[in-house]
Amino acid sequence: MKSLSCHVVALLSILAITLSLTNASDPSPLQDFCVAIDTPADGVFVNGKFCKDPKFVTVDDFFKSGLNKAGTPNEKTGSVVTLVNVNQIPGLNTLGISIVRIDYAVNGQNPPHTHPRASEILYVAHGTLLVGFVTSNPENRLFSKVLNEGDVFVFPEGLVHFQANVGKYPAVAFAGLSSQNPGAIVIADTVFGSNPPIQPNVLAKAFQLDTRTVMDLQAKFKK
């Protein structure tokens, strides 16, 4: 009886762990696909989007062209991100994946940012990039590496990370993300460019700066 009781306790423990892991992840789709639409007519609401009636789904709901075309880096950061998520390919809805193309000018960077809903795997197609991510408190440990053409690097979900072009020529990278809509929180834009602005005295204490410097930074990032 004692041995049987031990097995029962162990089985219940395994079931509890399995249920907790299941509840911590996205549920598996219960249909082949859920092509996103923006209107509720004859649709079912799934994970932020309504599903198109399968009878009206076409091959173009799973297709997007144009990632062969270079984007124009902006003047502020020297980079541009071309998104291909559920908003560009409706068929990505519920599939938990997306892709981006990033073009970097010489000395350009994809500044420190996080993806609140996705891990990222980056492939360097052309050029040389310095990349890295920082672990959470209290370690705040930096993992950084210079990547060349053909190299791949992974950024864990939610951690602050960046890429910077350290080569002599423009660079191009492609990244896969583990969400249909990963989101992006650019640290400087979020902290200094919030609307309405964060009180300057709060940021001054947080960043160990004087209030005037903070106000100057907020002016630079104001949209």
Report the number of distinct structural domains present in the chain.
Answer: 2
Residue 21 has pLDDT above 50, yes or no: no
Which residues on adjacent β-strands are paired with residue 134? Answer: 142, 160
H or E element that contains 121: strand 120-126
Q: Which amino acid is at 48?
A: G
**Two tokens, residue 182:** 């990963």
Q: Which domain holds residue 204?
A: 193-223
Are 144 and 94 found together in one domain?
yes
Residue 124 has pLDDT above 90, yes or no: yes
Listed range (31-35, 84-88, 127-131) with the worst mean pLDDT: 31-35
| pLDDT tens digit sequence for 138-147 | 999 999 999 9
The CATH number assigned to the domain holding 148 equals: 2.60.120.10
Confidence of residue 38 (pLDDT cuts 50, 70, 90): confident
Are 71 and 163 found together in one domain?
yes
Residue 69 contacts by C-beta under 8 Å, 6 or more apart in sequence?
A: none
Residue 16 has pLDDT above 70, yes or no: no
pTM of the predicted protein model: 0.83
Listed range (42-51, 102-111, 164-173, 191-200) with the worst mean pLDDT: 42-51
| pLDDT tens digit sequence for 48-62 | 678 888 899 999 999
Are 84 and 170 found together in one domain?
yes
pLDDT at 35: 87
Are 144 and 119 found together in one domain?
yes
Confidence of residue 2 (pLDDT cuts 50, 70, 90): low
**Cα gap 15→7, rounded to integer Å:** 12
Are 205 and 168 found together in one domain?
no
Residue 35 lies in a domain: no
Residue 8 has pLDDT above 80, yes or no: no
Are 180 and 213 found together in one domain?
no
Are 118 and 157 found together in one domain?
yes
pLDDT at 98: 95
Q: Provide DSSP, 124-141.
A: EEES-EEEEEEPPTTT--
**Cα gap 64→59, rounded to integer Å:** 10
Residue 26 lies in a domain: no
